[in-house]
Structure 1
């Protein structure tokens, strides 16, 4: 629900580690419409997804929103409220028609409600019968059998009730006397029943046509590139692109997708002075290896890596350029510790960012976010690099995350025949074929009204002012929710098992992660050499990571295992028992 008015919110600029950064070209920005368009279509096609987004993102003004990678959140919210209005009008129309029917012709209403209930129950009984057949084929647990049997009995009783109601209505219409002198308190006839049924069919058809026409317009660029239309949406637009990621819970990388464990690692590198060749031949000439003071600061290494990666996005040669690459600063901060950083959060500066880099033991942690968006924003690979200097040691941590494509149902608007005049007719036909199910959603009217009322109360950003003991961290990500099944949100499945990810999308995730990883490691090696740091141990660790994709942080027992290129293993047979 678009609102206007309320308090104004100051737009917060993004902070960069250097004056220049890798910017997206106009062609890449247009390419991002794919993920945004699919999320907008999900607002019309998935009512549960729409309610979660509007409730957890738009209406929850007590929490910050998660960063938006590969898409824009504002158009999704605008289309979400448009879809909400279509469904709300349908629910109100069905309720009004039902009340009029019950008042004007109760017998006709009873007949129609009974017939629609029996129709819906028949569809549910068909689904339960298939589940019962699946049980006997796959031999599932006894608990699942009892659940199916319980549903079967409950639907049988519901079917009997619906048939009884429709029979009583039909019997009352048949036995109703004619004439004003013998008029019954209960009125109605078959013509009234037909009129009420036609009104319901017209309401459902109109809502389906409006919904499909809105989906058709999503193919137009102007329908996706929408600007914020309310105070709350402007606040959300500022927060989704902010340098700070304010998170709630354990994982600070909310909005980044699933963690790629094979490409996440960390190690500590001692800062030792590189020895001269003469000192290697004559140990007496060796000097103290450890630097008394670090030869560089954390922000110097971060900005050097930023510049080296930026060149990959600026190359004119397509065989050198890495399209879609964006390198940015990311500061992770738990929502319960925001009050300490309130001034920096409202107006981040380069000086404040460098102070956070220099003090990695505090609540705020700096990461260099190296992100590649591909497939129109449907696949987003992000490598978060955390660097710190502590105890005269360089600590490096790589965390790789990937956003997989949105659900295939949301991408259906790109299928041939999914839009256009024919698609409108097919959408109306689908809803009419499931008429009882569509009408049954009217029970969600109270929830939809609460959603709209809560939107009017969410105009003011309640995260702008400090509150004692409050957690304003984001706990919901629209993009992550749209790319995973509901049962996978708490414990995401590996990317390899995602049904909506094809082979090449998975290959691109690992390719982009390895390209960024190799570029970062080679740049770090070059930087350490320039600062006179011994890189022998660093090169060994980097070689192990790049070649094998594995690094050992502790004791590891490996039996009959071969690691590395062209590695083999030979095992001897166990001796015979004596």
Structure 2
């Protein structure tokens, strides 16, 4: 949907020039966007993704966050903490069951673990094959007797058997003389206990995917017990809606994808007619006019099918993230970057193009998001929410009696396929049977790898805690701190460029539509101000019509574009030209 944020030149300016945002205006109670749903679901379905989200976003509270477009960081983070807690609970419970089993019946426990390792290794070796429930049962009937022999040999020597058991499995009674259960029955009990734990965790996860994160719901995730983490999440929730981007490194458009194309133009602000004295132009008013003309692409007087769906406009300040003591873009008390600029501060940045910070008008549109309806109102094709996002950053500056216009168009590819697995879970469907089937399919892997996965999770938690403490120390010791953002959740989970040919065509289409509207807006404003726009129009004509396609052999001079020339030299030194 179209989002028109408060204009930086019309809203009343508070006393502070930069701030962290207003909590009461930052809350979002509406349904989660499709991108937010997919990323929130991915923390449950993509191994290690929950830990990565938590680590990248919470490791250093002194770093800025890139402005989020069409997704919300807060629900993803909360679901990431919940997913990690669920997985850790499952791994710990399975490890406790195995530890108790090794104490009571080491042979069956070892045999079951060996079976899980064998099944997991075979699945990985085949290339991601996941066994079905009946395949798991059949493999168990064949492999368990062999694995018992292996377990007995490892524990009691060749030909040995556990104390109190007969020498061969065929002679095992239901119980021995001491009342100890047979190894087969013990194996069954261990397996059932592990299966119950995995079914309970899987049922909770499936409910989150099919109910809490179903389309139209507004679930924002559970509260995190740690007050420090809750404070960091609250800051991120405010900062992601800000209009300041402090970037780390050389990419000032973090979160917008790769650069598709860029162009710039400089022209004299001379009057349309006699006179050479430059005409005064207010860059703030010019930016405001361009923004209104872009907003007209989604105007209500257009037919719904013709409106540019998903268009978002945002005034944005961009600056490098390295700064020292007293830097106005950083809260010196908390040593946390500011994320919001007041309208007055935004105006000042626009009017001072020589400063170390730069203003951009960002126009972002997601391609292929409009559903197709029939004449009677029935939906024929649902809106596609996994496509590309095209952004155009426009910088307009008035300096030295000249106008400078610069646009940089970027494109962000669709979400990776593995981050869209939530679409494979029907909303509101029955989860009990599916939880049992998926647990049966993964029981071998969950049983064999539980100790390893629990150790990895605990290690990552310890590393994160150490990194957070180190960040607190480094920011106070360094003279020049790097407060810039270096990670964007949407960009890190998306393709670097369009995947299909139609997506490439969409990127070109929306880039040209937005750039054309920007150029027409600038020309229209300058004409109304009595400024000669012939130079601007000539440059834009060359830029928009500079493509040349020659089919077959060419034996003569060729020229394209306004005022272009081509010269062919003959062997005797004579010249023959072609002018366009």
What TM-score, normalized to structure 2?
0.72
Contact 1:15 1:329 in 2 (8 A): no
Root mean square deviation, CA, Å: 4.3
Of residues 490, 493, 497 in structure 2, which corresponds to 1:479? Answer: 490
Instruction: Determine which of 303, 308, 321 is the counterpart of 1:322.
Output: 308
CA contact 1:32–1:70 (8 Å) conserved in 2? no
Tell me if the contact between 1:209 and 1:425 (Cα under 8 Å) persists in the aligned partners. no
How far the C-alpha of 1:194 sits from its partner, in A, is 2.3
> Structure 1 residue 31: deviation in Å?
7.8
Greater alpha carbon shift after TM alignment, 405-414 vs 35-44: 405-414
The equivalent residue for 1:37 is 37
My pick for the range that moved more, 215-224 or 88-97, is: 215-224
Q: Distance in 2 between matches of 1:508 and 1:236?
A: 32
Inter-partner Cα distance in structure 2 for 1:128 and 1:228: 35
Compare the two structures and name the one with the higher strand fraction.
Answer: 2
2:281 pairs with one of 264, 281, 296: 296
Shift in CA distance, 511/428, structure 1 to aligned 2, threshold 3 Å:
farther
Q: Which runs of 5+ in 1 are unaligned?
A: 1-13, 22-27, 130-159, 277-286, 485-491, 551-558
Q: Is residue 342 of structure 1 aligned with residue 329 of structure 2?
A: yes
Counterpart of 1:198 in structure 2 is: 192
Quick check: 2:152–2:158 contact (8 Å CA) kept in 1? no
Deviation at 1:390, TM superposition (A): 3.0
Which of 335, 339, 358 is 1:365 aligned to? Answer: 358
Structure 1 residues 56-92: Cα deviation after superposition (integer angstroms, max 9, x where no partner): 0134313122211111111111221221121111111
Cα deviation for residue 452 of structure 1 reads 5.2
Q: How many residues align?
A: 481
Q: Secondary structure at the match of 2:481?
A: coil
217-226 or 380-389: bigger deviation = 217-226
- Residue 540 of structure 1 corresponds to 538
Distance 1:91 1:223, change over 3 A: farther
Q: Deviations over 1:417-474 (max 9, x none)?
A: 6455455534542443243333425423234335556579979x979x9863221211
Aligned equivalent of 1:176, options 162, 172, 175 = 162
Residue 173 of structure 1 contacts residue 190 of structure 1 at CA under 8 Å; is this kept in 2? Answer: no
Counterpart in the other structure of 2:171: none
| Greater share of residues in helix | 1
- SS of 1:260's equivalent in the other structure is strand
The aligned runs of 1:543-562 (5 Å cut-off) are 543-548=541-546
Does 351-360 or 38-47 show the bigger shift? 351-360
Question: Following the alignment from structure 2 to structure 1, what is the Cα–Cα distance between the partners of residues 407 and 428?
Answer: 47
Cα distance change on mapping 1:470 and 1:560 into 2, 3 Å: farther
1:470 to 481, 490, 498: 481
Q: Give the secondary-structure state (helix, strand or coil) at the position aligned to 1:341.
A: coil
Q: For residue 402 of structure 2, what is the aligned residue in structure 1? A: 393
TM-score normalised according to structure 1 size: 0.72
Match of 1:90 in 2: 90
Match of 1:76 in 2: 76
Q: 1:236 Cα shift?
A: 0.6
Q: Compared with structure 1, are the counterparts of its residues 395 and 249 closer, same or farther at alpha carbon in structure 2 (3 Å cutoff)?
A: same
1:18 to 9, 31, 48: 9
Q: Secondary structure at the match of 1:267?
A: strand
Look up the SS of the partner of 2:287 in the other structure.
Answer: helix
Q: 2:396·2:406 contact (CA, 8 Å) conserved in 1? A: yes
3-state DSSP of counterpart to 2:68: coil
* Paired position in structure 2 for 1:105: 105
**Does structure 2 conserve the Cα–Cα contact (< 8 Å) formed by 1:266 and 1:398?**
yes
- How far did 1:260 drift? 1.6
